[in-house]
A and B are shown apart, each in its own frame.
Chain A
Amino acid sequence: MKRLCIIFIAGAAVLATSCNKFLDINTNPNSAVSTTPELIIPQALTGTAANLNQFNTYGEQIGGYAANAGGYGGFGTAISYNFSSADYPGLWTTSYDNLEDYQTILNKTDGQLPNYSFVNAAARIMRVIGFELLTDAYNSVPYTDALKADSALTPTYSDPIAVYKDLADQLDKAIATINTGIAAPGIATMGPTDVLFKGDMVKWKQLANTIKLRLIIFGTGKVTFTNTTFTADGFLTTDALINPTYTRDIGRQNPKWDRWGYTSTGSDATKSWIPSTWILSFYNGTKLQDSGRGKAIYYLYTPTYLSTPPTPTTPVLGTGQLGVESVNTPKSPAGSFWYPSTNRVGGSSGNTTGVLKGPDAGYPLITAAESYFLQAEAKMKGILATGATDADLFKAGITASFSYLYAGPTSTAVTTRNPTTDANTYMTDNAASPLVNYSLATTPAQKLEAIITQKYIAMNFVNSEVGWNDYRRTHYPAVSGTSATSTFASTVSESTRPDKLPTRVLYPVVEGSLNSTNVPKSINPFSSLIFWAF
């Protein structure tokens, strides 16, 4: 009996002492539990490209660049515009998910300046872009209270005017941080982890200035900005392309190519949308003649005015009017009409011009064309006092658009045509139109119409959301009536507005269910306006 007791007590003792060693096994063998800013920044930038791709889809569908294709049905609110909280929820969730990555970099590096100046400033600039995208889509969004993890579980919504003001301040701060970093000795560049500018901090400053210019143009008259001057670094003169070395592989393709061209295995990508008849009217001579960019962008594009028209081919480029669901609505070919090449074998296609270019193309964060058009507008409105004239900037914008669209996915030239020559040809061919010939635009309204219309054309499937934002801000390009070339509004629009277009998308379901006390109520897709819209 005594012996048994001893055994039992000994057993209990072993049990207690070996406890900690036995239990200390909760080390995660599957995922990292810590990381560094250098490891987050390339992923975050690539995430921004993926997010912009969603915004491009949204802009191209609402903003008139695309129409529903034949062979598909159930377009629902995409053609009625009577949006519900279930429409475009990814714009919201992906934006905040991406913003959290930038916020984490800021949280990790704010106390470690100047050593982390460059990555800190880059994250700050990208955070501004993310919130600008959100504000332009949703107006009031969580900003001051956002990205605070469990210290603010139901973030309040900030006044978009205050947000705009702070975003501009953040850009000033980012530029100052970069300058501090440059001044401090021995600060390493971001190098290849910077998948946007490869560590070129001057371009980062130009990006900051360009975005600030965009904020000021949109906010003028509504927002009282702290500082409306720009540093001597100037504005972007080259396309800002995000490219982590996209390649033809699953999950690693340029996101726009992946959605509209071919999947990495060569299967057809999205075929439920085709170019709109409306947007083609800016290329095929209906409104403007633009054989250069038309050919660069579209499959089977047959220009109507070339001196040596190509042999007519069947089928031809199919276009549609949003909302028309009939047996005659053209169907999308595999690879879509936005892939201009005739090599349409999914597994080897790519390496072409236009908006898709190829699986390895960089994704445009902002193009030089947009930068020039922003400057042109700012100059025209007096926001920028010095520098080139608005007419020169306008022309530079058109040329930059040709340059972007004529470029292949990589630096290798894929076309023998010269963008500058063709841009000049374009300006000659449309010399009678004030939308091209800036000197014919005499009033500020006409000038604005020219600038915004050209920008709208340049943003076609490049950054379609920009075209949509500009339309809502300026109501250019002008629409009227109901015909396929006079308006891009859906034929089955339920909008109550004169232009039959919506004004915005609704807050996603997730906010209604998880942040219901703060989410603004009674938002109407036909009457609720973004603060800069009318």
Chain B
Amino acid sequence: MRKFASLCTALLLCSVLTFAQQKTVSGRITDEKGDPIPFATIMIKGSRAATVADANGSFNLNLKNGTTLLISATGFTTKEVSAEGQKTVSVQLAGSSRLIEEVIVTAGGIKTKRKEIGTANTVIRAEALTAGKSMNVASGLQGKVAGLQISGTSGGINPSYRLILRGQRSLTGNNQALIVLNNVIVPNSVLGNLNPDDVEDVVVMNGAGAVALYGSQASNGALIVTTKKGKRGQTSIVVSNTTTIEQVAFYPKIQTKFGSGGTAYGLDPDGKPIFNYLENQSYGPAFDGVKRPLGPALEDGSQDSAFYSFNPGHNQFWKKGINNQTNFSLTSGDDNSTFYLSGQYATVTGTTPGDKYNRATLSANGTRKIGNKVMVSYNTDYTQNRYDITTQTASMYGNMLNMPSNVDITKYKNWRTDKFANPIGYYNPWYLNPYFSADNYRSIQRNDYLIANVEVKWNPINGLDFTARQGMTTRNYSQKNTVGQFKYTDFAKTTDQSSKADISASVYDASNYATNLLTDLFGQYNKKVGDFDFKLIAGGQWRQDQAKYLNITANGLVVPDLYNASNGVGSPTVSETNYKARQIGAYADLRIGYKGYLFLHGTGRNDWVSILDADNRSFFYPSVDLSFIASEAIGALKSSKTVSYLKLRGGWSKVGQVNLGNSDNFGAYYTQPIFSANAYGFPYGPLPGYSVGNGLVQSGLKPEITKGYEFGFDLNLFKDRFASSITWFSTKTDNQTVPTAISPTTGFTSLLTNAGQTGSRGLEVTAHYTPIRTKDWSVTIGGNYTYLDNTVNFIRSDLTKLPLSSSGSGASYAVAGQAFPVIEGFDYKRDKEGHVIVNSINGLPTKSDTISILGNAVPKHKLGLDGTVQYKNFRFSFLFDYRGGYKTFNGMGPELDWSGTGYRTAVYNRQSFVFPNSVIEDASKPGTYVKNTSVAIANGNGNNGFWTEDYNRGVTSNYVTNGAFWKLREIAIAYDLPAALLAKTKAIKGVTISVQGRNLFIWLPKDNIYTDPEYSDPGADNNGIGLTGLGQTPPSRYYGGTITVRF
């Protein structure tokens, strides 16, 4: 990867080369051991002239504008060499300190050499992040970082992502990685509202220790995102356009043999179920190709019909989406200032018919030196996004699944003009036309984000500087959800089996804002004493989060198309909530370096938070880590030809986190129980009435504390052609703040309490190898692997499990002594060996009385495999992503079986069958069971038969499948037009054409016939993973092309 990066830089620089006929210098660049460093960059100081060394480290350069050479290569220290009066120079780059001399941004915006850091971290550069041209930074990171699990938790036009580092710690609180943008903590939603092209790099700090300085939120690790800055002496403009097609990549598997009807309509003389022309359940006779009516005749006498044979309409319901992004950026800089301007406009249509999304972002970043001692910098990002989507994704999907598969769904699209598609004449009396549900229930949302920060750095004397920084994130958003009025004719309401009912118009209108302010003030002092190097940082941080939510619902709109809250009948429903939370942190950070190969680092921070009681709101937490560069300290390694770099590292940390509330309310006001003024319609005129709230709060709530350690090593071999990093980590989180559900017989339904402990242990491995590295060819392959053992150690003696979320009959639970979380639900009653016990007369199984654990919902193994191949101007890259060792509950399963389109329902051809792997009670020895080979379930149909009954659909375990998947996450081919070709244009410096695909293929285990196990029905912010539902549309693949022009 590193060489690839330097090569990219080299290619970029090629385009700005200037040619002159003055005297030249040639030379060779080597490392300390005398081996050539290929593709190093050689610049003439103070000018834009530059060249790149070849694979053997040799170069030629015209000395046009000066004689001082600046020689740099990724991973090496930049060196200044004078070529005054010389024809050849021989340059040896900075000792053996190569890769690790690289400087990255860590907590607080402090730049630290990677070799000094005693904890695991990963740097993802812009080119890797944007290879797949995703609109969302989170999706660009998927599969690329060991220990980081990014799950796309929903489908749709702007999918949500859940970012978890090293598993879940908090039982019910926030577990998502902290997002830091340009040194300022921002809400996670910012990742989806940032132009990925603006990102310079993302530093992933896997553990809490590395970022303890960020305060309590850092217990989940952090993603430190830095956007691009202008570069000194370079002016360039980049314009690009990407067009991406979105297409469903995986459809739920449906049966293709049977249509409408069922045994409730009786049996024909052959014992086959009877066809019914309006039944939504596909439990009728087998398809025979005959044209049959659909629904009752309309008022005008006409009647809809369809051929009674399979039609792939279920798959064709989902559209091809188009995503178009146009980017512009301009960078410039001189000795005193730099700036970077950019803009992006993106429009998206999704796979859901009618859903639209667009996003526009503008950024301006810059730096300015004032005198010699003051440096000012600023970053501003403004993003606005607009949604126009349906609110009925789940019911639309459900309605669609309840259309038998002989019905061509797509012909019901034009419901406004087509009498058979219009709800009045629509054949199905119980389920709405899915196109109508999508069109009639809409949500228009607008979000405006302004993210800005200014920083002043004052460097009064050498070795000492002070930084003051003010960051601000503000989100202003509004939403209008509308339901259109629909009136049926009396005929439609009363004919045949109709239960069609008028829909009255309503509107929900919300306007909200959230503002986060973050002030940092700190000083840094560096001092070298003999072999020791001291760096001390001390400072304070002030944080304020504030939000207001105001919404109003009006029902029964008087003028049907006037979607205004003042247009309803009766009192509108109004809700207003306000939240404000503050935090102060004071911290110190000391790093002691010894001889450049041993680094001891310690931090301490005390937080004071407003959201806890005064007695408990102050808490202190320290961290310590150690880094030892063995390859520099030990002589044998230093001279080794094999080992080029070996770093041993380890760290211990303790971080406190106040896990109250959520990102909308910041945990404000949680410490006191509340009374509701609006229960049961109160107030009635002048009569007020208050209800006792359902939540209990333990007095003296404390922060939860995560303690953990990690150790590992970074090992590079064969001149860094092989680079690896291995980390073992273990954390325990105590004093969980848990809003536990409690029996309503206590008078309450939840108790907020400190209880329980979770644990997370695992291994993170990253390895890359570059077998080929020549001037024309470069091949790098590698990957990352994560093993995660995430557990709930205990909760409390009287509460051994906690419900986290549910989808239908499946629920995600934290259970003491189990993986965090597990899927729980109903199973069949089984004998000791696990065989299903069936009734010895009718062959029917019985649903278990209570729910039980049906599987671990957290992936134990995660693997990313990536590769890049570079040949001359071609670049090819790919990324495969695997997750395994867990289960998922598919909430759409019961709906599929209800509708009779489910694949499972036809595995016995709707015939009588013997329940597989079942046993019956041995009549001679009660309590013992014998294998059942003959007692069959008589009614193997549905619509009153096995498949629609509770002992099939109500049994959760029937829909729990292996959660494993392989995905081809990204694949991209890019081609840079040859410089020679562009030279004639004078203006154009570079043109890159690329084609790329994301999530092109998904491979699922045989039992998962439903959907993408990455989805999470309760949403990105909920820890109750492992459940999918109908709210998530089928997973998509994305593919498209990009043209990028640099001026």
Chain A interface (Cβ within 8 Å of chain B)?
Answer: 1, 4, 8, 11-12, 15-16, 19-20, 22-35, 39-44, 46-47, 49-50, 70-74, 76-77, 82, 84-86, 92-93, 96-97, 99-101, 103-104, 141-142, 145-150, 152-155, 192-193, 195, 244-253, 263-268, 271-272, 325, 327, 331, 334, 347, 509-516, 521-522
Decide if B684 touches A4 in the complex (CB within 8 Å). no
Q: In this complex, what residue of A is CB-closest to B501? A: A268
Decide if A23 touches B608 in the complex (CB within 8 Å). yes
Residues of A within 8 Å of B610, CB to CB, are: 22-26
User: Contacting chain A: which of B8-16, B27-35, B157-165, B666-674?
Assistant: B666-674
Interface digits, B558-578 against A, CB 8 Å rule (1 contact, 0 not)?
000000000011110100111
Decide if A96 touches B682 in the complex (CB within 8 Å). no
Decide if A26 touches B668 in the complex (CB within 8 Å). yes
CA distance A291 to B447 in the complex (A): 62
Decide if A29 touches B746 in the complex (CB within 8 Å). no
Q: A25-B610, A272-B499 are known contacts. Are A251 and B681 too (CB-CB below 8 A)?
A: yes
CA distance A514 to B751 in the complex (A): 12
Question: Which of A327, A510, A514 has the largest count of B CB atoms less than 10 A from its CB?
Answer: A514
User: Contacting chain A: which of B183-191, B843-851, B906-914, B1013-1021?
Assistant: B843-851
Chain B interface (Cβ within 8 Å of chain A)?
Answer: 264, 429-430, 460-461, 464, 466, 493-494, 496-499, 501-504, 506, 521, 523, 538, 540, 542, 555-556, 568-571, 573, 576-582, 584, 586, 608-611, 614, 617, 668-669, 671-677, 679-682, 684-685, 687-694, 696, 698, 741-749, 751, 753, 798-799, 801, 803, 847, 849-851, 898, 950, 954
* 5 A–B pairs (Cβ distance < 8 Å), ordered by A: A28-B668, A31-B693, A40-B692, A246-B681, A267-B502
Please tell me which one of the listed residues A32, A42, A73, A147 contacts residue B430 in the complex, with CB atoms under 8 A apart. A73
Decide if B497 touches A327 in the complex (CB within 8 Å). yes
Decide if B674 touches A511 in the complex (CB within 8 Å). no
Decide if A32 touches B850 in the complex (CB within 8 Å). no
Known contacts A32-B675, A152-B746, then 19 further A-B pairs from the complex at CB < 8 Å, ordered by chain A residue? A26-B581, A30-B578, A30-B579, A41-B689, A43-B679, A47-B691, A49-B680, A84-B950, A100-B748, A142-B745, A150-B746, A195-B687, A245-B684, A246-B681, A251-B681, A252-B684, A347-B556, A511-B743, A513-B851
Closest 4 CB pairs of A and B: A265-B556, A43-B689, A100-B747, A71-B499
Decide if B746 touches A40 in the complex (CB within 8 Å). no
Residues of A within 8 Å of B538, CB to CB, are: 8
Decide if B747 touches A96 in the complex (CB within 8 Å). yes
Residues of B within 8 Å of A76, CB to CB, are: 950
Decide if A30 touches B669 in the complex (CB within 8 Å). yes
Residues of A within 8 Å of B573, CB to CB, are: 250-251
How far is the CB of A495 from the nearest CB of chain B, in Å? 16
Decide if A43 touches B747 in the complex (CB within 8 Å). no
Q: In this complex, what residue of B is CB-closest to A71? A: B499
Please tell me which one of the listed residues A23, A86, A522 contacts residue B609 in the complex, with CB atoms under 8 A apart. A23
How far is the CB of B956 from the nearest CB of chain A, in Å? 12
Q: A244-B689, A245-B687, A267-B556 are known contacts. Are A514 and B674 too (CB-CB below 8 A)?
A: no
Decide if B747 touches A31 in the complex (CB within 8 Å). no
Q: In this complex, what residue of B is CB-closest to A37? A: B690
How far is the CB of A122 from the nearest CB of chain B, in Å? 14
Decide if A147 touches B669 in the complex (CB within 8 Å). no
Please tell me which one of the listed residues A39, A195, A252, A511 contacts residue B690 in the complex, with CB atoms under 8 A apart. A39
Residues of B within 8 Å of A263, CB to CB, are: 504, 555
By secondary structure, the A interface counts as loop
Q: A15-B586, A153-B798 are known contacts. Are A146 and B671 too (CB-CB below 8 A)?
A: no
Residues of A within 8 Å of B555, CB to CB, are: 250, 263-265
Q: In this complex, what residue of B is CB-closest to A8? A: B523
Decide if B743 touches A265 in the complex (CB within 8 Å). no
CA distance A34 to B898 in the complex (A): 48
Decide if B570 touches A264 in the complex (CB within 8 Å). yes
CA distance A46 to B687 in the complex (A): 12
Decide if A22 touches B584 in the complex (CB within 8 Å). yes
Please tell me which one of the listed residues B581, B688, B696 contacts residue A150 in the complex, with CB atoms under 8 A apart. B696
Decide if A149 touches B499 in the complex (CB within 8 Å). no
Q: In this complex, what residue of A is CB-closest to B577? A: A30
CA distance A248 to B672 in the complex (A): 35
Decide if A149 touches B681 in the complex (CB within 8 Å). no
Q: A40-B689, A93-B749, A248-B570 are known contacts. Are A512 and B430 too (CB-CB below 8 A)?
A: no
Decide if B745 touches A147 in the complex (CB within 8 Å). yes
CA distance A97 to B742 in the complex (A): 12
Decide if B540 touches A12 in the complex (CB within 8 Å). yes
Decide if B954 touches A154 in the complex (CB within 8 Å). no
Decide if B676 touches A23 in the complex (CB within 8 Å). no
Residues of B within 8 Å of A252, CB to CB, are: 571, 681, 684
Q: In this complex, what residue of A is CB-closest to B677? A: A32
Q: A97-B694, A325-B264 are known contacts. Are A512 and B743 too (CB-CB below 8 A)?
A: no
CA distance A178 to B269 in the complex (A): 73
Decide if A30 touches B576 in the complex (CB within 8 Å). yes
CA distance A68 to B627 in the complex (A): 73
Residues of B within 8 Å of A195, CB to CB, are: 687
Decide if A149 touches B747 in the complex (CB within 8 Å). yes
CA distance A147 to B693 in the complex (A): 13
Residues of A within 8 Å of B569, CB to CB, are: 264-266, 347
Decide if B672 touches A33 in the complex (CB within 8 Å). yes
Decide if A516 touches B687 in the complex (CB within 8 Å). no
Please tell me which one of the listed residues A85, A264, A268 contacts residue B502 in the complex, with CB atoms under 8 A apart. A268
Q: A11-B521, A29-B578, A31-B677 are known contacts. Are A331 and B498 too (CB-CB below 8 A)?
A: yes
Residues of B within 8 Å of A1, CB to CB, are: 461, 464
CA distance A50 to B681 in the complex (A): 11
Q: A46-B682, A325-B264 are known contacts. Are A516 and B676 too (CB-CB below 8 A)?
A: no
CA distance A142 to B430 in the complex (A): 41
Please tell me which one of the listed residues B688, B743, B849 contacts residue A154 in the complex, with CB atoms under 8 A apart. B743
How far is the CB of A384 from the nearest CB of chain B, in Å? 34
Decide if A148 touches B747 in the complex (CB within 8 Å). yes
Q: In this complex, what residue of A is CB-closest to B951? A: A82
CA distance A149 to B679 in the complex (A): 20
Decide if B691 touches A146 in the complex (CB within 8 Å). no
Question: Which of B578, B684, B850 has the largest count of A CB atoms less than 10 A from its CB?
Answer: B684
Decide if B556 touches A43 in the complex (CB within 8 Å). no
Decide if A42 touches B747 in the complex (CB within 8 Å). no
Residues of B within 8 Å of A86, CB to CB, are: 954
Q: A77-B950, A153-B746, A264-B570 are known contacts. Are A50 and B674 too (CB-CB below 8 A)?
A: no
Q: In this complex, what residue of A is CB-closest to B747? A: A100
Please tell me which one of the listed residues A43, A49, A266, A509 contacts residue B682 in the complex, with CB atoms under 8 A apart. A43
How far is the CB of A361 from the nearest CB of chain B, in Å? 14
Decide if B954 touches A42 in the complex (CB within 8 Å). no
Question: Which of B501, B577, B743, B753 has the largest count of A CB atoms less than 10 A from its CB?
Answer: B743
Please tell me which one of the listed residues B614, B687, B742, B801 contacts residue A193 in the complex, with CB atoms under 8 A apart. B687
Residues of B within 8 Å of A246, CB to CB, are: 681, 684
Decide if A510 touches B502 in the complex (CB within 8 Å). no
Decide if B689 touches A39 in the complex (CB within 8 Å). yes
Q: In this complex, what residue of A is CB-closest to B688? A: A39
Residues of B within 8 Å of A253, CB to CB, are: 681
Q: In this complex, what residue of A is CB-closest to B691? A: A43
Residues of A within 8 Å of B464, CB to CB, are: 1, 4
Residues of B within 8 Å of A153, CB to CB, are: 742-743, 746, 751, 798-799
CA distance A100 to B608 in the complex (A): 35
Q: A511-B745, A514-B743, A516-B850 are known contacts. Are A20 and B614 too (CB-CB below 8 A)?
A: yes
Question: Which of B499, B538, B568, B677 has the largest count of A CB atoms less than 10 A from its CB?
Answer: B499
Residues of B within 8 Å of A264, CB to CB, are: 555-556, 569-570
Residues of B within 8 Å of A146, CB to CB, are: 745-747
How far is the CB of B196 from the nearest CB of chain A, in Å? 37
Residues of B within 8 Å of A103, CB to CB, are: 747
Q: A26-B671, A153-B751 are known contacts. Are A19 and B608 too (CB-CB below 8 A)?
A: yes
Decide if A32 touches B698 in the complex (CB within 8 Å). no
Please tell me which one of the listed residues A70, A193, A266 contacts residue B497 in the complex, with CB atoms under 8 A apart. A70
CA distance A497 to B655 in the complex (A): 62
How far is the CB of B955 from the nearest CB of chain A, in Å? 11
